[in-house]
Amino acid sequence: MRTIIHSSCDARRALARPALLATLGALLLLSAPASAGPPIRSKRIDKAVARIQPAVVKVFGVKGFRGVFGYMTGVNVHQSGLVITRGSVTLDEAPQIKIHFHDGRRVGAEIVREDRVSKMILLRLLGEADDTYPVAPLADSDKVKAGHFSLLIGNAYKVALGEEKCAVNLGVVSAVTKIEMRAGMSGGFDYDGKVILHDAMNNPGVYGGPLANLKGEVIGISGRILESRETNVQMHYAIPVNDLKAFILDTINNPEAGKIYRRRGASKTRGGTDAPEKKVPGWHGIRVLRGGINKATPAYIDRIVPQSPAHKAGLRADDLVLKIDHMRVKSWRTFNRMMGRYQAGEKVQLTIKRRSDVKVIDLTLGKRK
């Protein structure tokens, strides 16, 4: 009898298992979303790319320069057909510049304006104005911070010729800062404003293309790869779009203006006005210990001028300057060169070593009395 009861219980359990499993399966199906789809971040990127991609164009200039590519990227910023891109000898020497849109439209273009400070140019599309030219929205680049995601869009390796869309690279903004650099084969880099440093892949085909945020708005225009004079490290950068808006608007509102854009407050040699505002070099009151012929002597503070900005900030003799605005100071010569870039009224952050302590000191530069 005991054996029969045990068998009956096992039988009931065996019959109950399928029903329990079926119930659990139904609950799992009900709780699961109808369609999992891509992650939210992926959807956000898709929307951003779809918003800006139509306004990104492939730019083709003259070929035949050794080591110089005849293709790059631009972005349309006005419905009448006004494309901003980075200047290049391949465009200067081209009998006619060719522009390819994402939908296959191909139009000629000519250089109408040049900003010699930022190395950016504006191209006017030739032929009858077409109201259907897609326009890229411009962001407020002052809101861009280190750590923000960014999208770099361009004709990488010339893979996009006709209707093909430009390549998209996801990256992160490393810093928004002033930095002492040289621009490869282009010679001197006169731009002394802040640049957006990022880690998205860059190459000659992407130069002049937009760096966008995850809303699909332009935050900067990609420049050439730069190399730091201080560290010899190559960096990808973009000129913040806020610093290019005046250039764009002035060209739109003054179509008969000269080909060279004159920045307010800049000198004539750097594309400035006829009556430039003279910049006042910043004064700090720091005298570093000079190393004579030894260029590698560290930047030890030898003397602080009384009542100077450095004295008021709390700097002392024998302090060792390690960094200026997060940039490493390798020697006393480096210190003098880097500090010479700042203007009166600007704030500088110095990282110093005082005995065994490392301190960060904020210094506001003044005018020499």
- Each residue of 103-134: pLDDT tens digit? 888 899 999 999 988 889 999 998 766 667 89
Q: Are residues 315 and 359 in the same domain?
A: yes
Q: Are residues 263 and 301 in the same domain?
A: no
Alpha helices for 116-259 (secondary structure H): 245-253
Q: Are residues 306 and 234 in the same domain?
A: no
The Cβ-side half-sphere exposure at 8, using a 13 Å CA radius, reads 5
CATH code for the domain in which residue 59 is found: 2.40.10.120
296 φ, ψ to 5°?
-95, 10
**Structural domain that includes position 45:** 37-278
Q: Are residues 354 and 236 in the same domain?
A: no
In a domain, 30, yes or no: no
What is the pTM (predicted TM-score) of this model? 0.62
Q: What share of the chain is helix, strand, coil (3-state, %, to 5)?
A: 25, 30, 45
| Residues sharing a CB contact under 8 Å with residue 315, sequence separation 6 or more, in sequence order | 286, 301, 304, 350, 352, 361, 363
Q: Are residues 234 and 88 in the same domain?
A: yes
CATH code for the domain in which residue 360 is found: 2.30.42.10
pLDDT tens-digit series, residues 50-107: 999 999 999 988 664 444 567 889 999 998 899 999 987 667 666 778 899 888 888 9
- Residue 184 binned pLDDT confidence (cut-offs 50, 70, 90): very low
The single-letter code of the amino acid at 29 is: L
Of residues 204 and 222, which shows the higher confidence score?
Answer: 222
| Host H or E run for residue 52 | helix 40-52
In a domain, 8, yes or no: no
Q: Residue 358 CB: number of other CB atoms within 10 A?
A: 12
Distance between CA atoms of residues 82 and 133, nearest Å: 9
Distance between CA atoms of residues 319 and 349, nearest Å: 14
| Residues sharing a CB contact under 8 Å with residue 111, sequence separation 6 or more, in sequence order | 91, 92, 97, 121, 122, 123, 259
Among left, alpha and beta (phi > 0; psi -120 to 50; other), residue 147 is: left
Of residues 136 and 89, which shows the higher confidence score?
Answer: 136
In a domain, 217, yes or no: yes
Q: Are residues 331 and 201 in the same domain?
A: no
In a domain, 28, yes or no: no
